[in-house]
Each structure stands twice: as C-alpha cells, then as structure tokens.
Amino acid sequence: MLSPKNLLVLMSDEHNPKFMGAAGHALAQTPHLDRLAARGTRFTSAYTTSPICVPARAGFATGKYQHQIGYWDNADAYDGAVPSWHHLLRAEGHRAVSIGKLHFRGLPGDDHGFSEELLAMHVVEGLGDVKGLVRESIPRRNGYDKLAKLAGPGETPYIRYDRDIASRAQAWLREEAPRDRPWALFVSFVCPHFPLVAPPEFYGRYPQDRIPLPKQYPPSERPNHPYLRDYDACVAYDAGFGGDHAKVRRAIAGYLGLVSFMDDNVGKVLRALDGAGLSADTRVVYTSDHGDNVGARGLWGKSTMYEESAGVPFILAGPDVPAKAQCATPVSHVDLFPFFLEAVGVPAPRGDHPGVSPLALVAGIQPDRPVLSEYHAIGSTGGITMLRKGRWKYVHFVRYPPQLFDLQDDPEELVDLAGDPAHRATLAAMKAELRRHLDPKEVDARAKQRQGELLARAGGREAALARGDLNYTPAPGQAPDMN
C-alpha cells in the first residue's frame, strides 16, 4: 500500500510519445519532461483508450474502455454519469481541482466530479463535432488545408490559453493547495495540438534543414490499407501540403516547437510545486490524451492505431516511484485509475474496472490481460479495436482486413504481418483474445445506435453536414472555427 500523498496530474493534448528527449528523439527538446522521467519511471508501451480527444478523456476519467462506458466520439462527451476518479476523491473529502482543457459535455447541471473546474474547456455548446456522427458515405471535411497553411512561428489562442493554464496552476500550488490532507490537481494543456503554430522562441529551435521527412512519407512507401485510404479521403490533411517537402518540414518544426513550449509550461508548474515545498509529498503523472501521426505514412492528426497516434507518453514520479526506471510492459490510461486512488489513499471501488496499478507492473507483475484502444469516430465507417499483448499488436477492423505487427522486431510498424501465412496462427490467437473481451460487431452496432440517436437530436444528417466542420475546439472566450 502507498502512503497517502498529493497528486499532480499533467496532461498535454496530442503528444506523440516518440517526440521527447527521454524517448530518444534526435531533435525534440523537452528538458523538463526528461528530468521528470529521470527522477521517476517512464512506461515505453503506453496507450490511450481511444485515439481522439473526447472519448480518450472519458476513458481517462473513468478508468474504463469505450465499449464499457460509451462516449464514442467527439460529439458524445463525458457528462459525469459514470463515476470518475475525481468523483471518488471528492467523495472522500479530498480537494480535486482541474485547470485547463477537459473536453467534457459541460452543460448546466453536469457534475464531472471535480471540486472546481478552473479555465475549463468543454465541447462546443455541449454538442461537439456533430458532423463526426455521420458514419456512412462520409464526405471530405472542409478546412483540411489549414494544417499546412498555418504552420510556422506565431501566436494563437491555444498558446495564450496554455500560458494562462500554467499561470493559474502555479498560483494554485503556491496559494491554494491544502496542507491538512492530500489533494489532487489536474493540469491539462492544449499544446501540441494543431494548429501547428509555435511561439517563435520555440519554433526557432528547429532549423528546417535538420528536419528529416517523416517515415514512409513518399507515396510509394505508404502502406496500402483501405482504412487509411478512406480516412485520408475524409480528413485529407496531407493534401494541403501538395507534395511540398518544405511545407512538411515547416509543419514538423511547428509541432516540435509546440512540444517544447508545452514542456516549458510543465517546467513552470513543477518549479512552482517545488517552490511551494510540496515536491516531497506529491506524486506526479505526465501523459497525453493521445498521440499524433505528424506526417508518418502521410498521416497527420490522430485516429489510427499506430504507435504515433494510439501511443502516449506516460511518466510517474514522486514518493514510492522507482527513479531512473523504464517499464516496457504494455500499460493503458485505464491503469491510472487505481493508481490515482491508491496514491491519495482512497479505497478502489468494486466493479469491472480493468486497470492494474502501474507500480505493480514496475515491480514485475505480468498480468494476463491485453491493453485495448478503440475508435468509432471521424472518418471510420466501422469500428476499430487495437489489442496489444506482449510483443504483438493486433488491429481489428469491422469493415476492413486486420493488421498485425511484431513490435519487438519491428517497433516502427513498417511490416504488416496480417497477410503472411507464417503468422496465421498468431493472427488467429490475437483475434480470439480480442473476442474474450468484446464482440467487435456488437460494439460497432451499439456505437452506431447511440450516434444515430444523437444525430437525430441534432436534426439529422443534412443538418449535421450543414453545421460544418469543427477544425478544433475553441479556447474559452474564442468563437468556434467552422468551415
């Protein structure tokens, strides 16, 4: 059992786990995250419950997978109906405060479980990205070319918002953190989420002549999987680059600059924690809601099961956490649920929570369970489920052929083994393992039923399409960017 301590949870948005100095990236400058990893444990095979914002954050809050809780897409936001770790901490008398992006429903009367929500960002009008509810005959989304057009140095509302979040978190730690019993503070930044515009001081750290093209970026090298073709036809971010490699490098420099900007804000919060004399009594967690493809295979944004997108950075540090350690055992955001409760001294609830405390994994426990990630959102006409167990990653598509990768021998996922007769038995075993936990067709049907109901409430398909494309959720006080 852990001794009860304070809990500081730091989350970014869309941080590819490979883009970090501690992860061995040749260019990414993340000194504060690197130091956090050095004084704690970094998990090298960590995953989101869903590689898109709103479902990922619902899974993170509740410690459950999408097939257990719903909240399928960016128009089906967490409303507090399923108990969260913040509900449970608050119920035991602990102060549980959020600062920054939540991406919950946020309607009057919703109780997400926090004692306070400061500078909260929720989905637009409690509805979110309604067009994403359309799962058949999906049209190309508008505004796809903005990723390339906007990339470069500059300022955005997201950058200003993250500065405000960092400032408010520093003030809370110095002036408001309780001293009589353990507390939990959730600090949630937006960067490095696009637009790929970075403050000049951080953008300038990455000369474009040093930036290589992403792996498998040339069209002749890209995998020819039908889901990737269909997703690209819907979102089409790469079409905005028009094959211009200079623009691609400019976008990657923007992403790297945003990662360093986010890291700088993390450093400010950690310095405030130390300056307030709280570091010795606080466990710190850093992760991201999901990753970003950042041009690999010609893909940008999230929404795939590749490591760049479904993988997340995952660092624990503080009392009772081994220092200078790494753990390769696959881990998920659902595993943070029991850790958060144990860290503050709250009994775990009974029920079907699939999580295993990450500290147990560090200690050498090898649970006989897979790690899952699910996708039922933008650009997909059928459900997608990733299953990671040991060295193998299996991706099941309800409407497409599966994928199979050996992450021990092929960590960059360059060779899909699903069609290789030599791996037929492994493919069958992984499919059977998936069916031990869920029925993909049943889950797909359940997701689409819920999405159909929400679509009907929004006025139907034509009304959703007429509403336009929400390129990204606006920061508080900013008007939505609709196309």
User: Are the CB atoms for 79 and 139 separated by under 8 Å?
Assistant: no
Phi first, then psi: what are they for 58, rounded to 5°? Answer: -70, -40
Per the listing, tokens 């009589």 go with 180
Cα separation, 342 vs 279, in Å, equals 18
User: What's the pLDDT tens digit per position in 256-276?
Assistant: 999 999 999 999 999 999 999
Q: Does residue 14 fall inside a structural domain? A: yes
Task: Indicate the pTM of the whole model.
Answer: 0.98
Query: Residue 305, Cα to own-chain centre: how many angstroms?
Result: 12
In a domain, 475, yes or no: no
Is residue 87 situated within a structural domain? yes
Does the pLDDT of residue 188 top 90, yes or no?
yes
The tally of domains found in the chain comes to 1
Please check whether residue 164 lies inside any domain of the structure: yes
The per-residue pLDDT for 241 is: 97
pLDDT confidence band for 1 (50 / 70 / 90): confident
Residue 312 pLDDT level (bands cut at 50, 70, 90): very high
Instruction: Tell me the CATH number at 349.
Output: 3.40.720.10
Task: Write out pLDDT tens, residues 344-393.
Answer: 999 989 888 999 999 999 999 999 999 999 999 999 999 999 999 999 99
Confidence of residue 143 (pLDDT cuts 50, 70, 90): confident
- Is the bond preceding residue 192 a cis peptide, omega within 30 degrees? yes
Task: Convert the pLDDT of each residue in 394-419 to its tens digit.
Answer: 999 999 999 999 999 999 999 999 99
Question: What percent of the chain shows pLDDT beyond 70?
Answer: 100
**What percentage of residues in the chain have a pLDDT greater than 90?**
94
pLDDT at residue 482 above 80?
Answer: no
Written as one string, the DSSP assignment of 222-244 is S---HHHHHHHHHH-GGGGGTT-
Q: DSSP letters along 381-430, please?
A: SS-EEEEEETTEEEEEESSS--EEEETTT-TT-----TT-GGGHHHHHHH
Say if CB 31 and CB 265 are below 8 A apart.
no
Mean pLDDT of the chain: 96
Structure tokens at 112: 């997400």
At 472 the pLDDT is 82
Are the C-beta atoms of 114 and 183 separated by less than 8 Å? no
Q: Is residue 481 part of a domain?
A: no
Residues forming beta bridges with residue 359, ordered by sequence position: none
pLDDT (tens digit, 9 = 90+) per residue, 446-476? 999 999 999 999 999 999 999 888 888 999 9
In a domain? residue 473: no
What integer is the mean pLDDT of 15-27?
98
| Residue 257: domain span | 6-467
Q: Which amino acid is at 9?
A: V
Is residue 254 one of the residues assigned to a domain? yes
Is the CB of residue 310 less than 8 Å from the CB of residue 377?
Answer: no
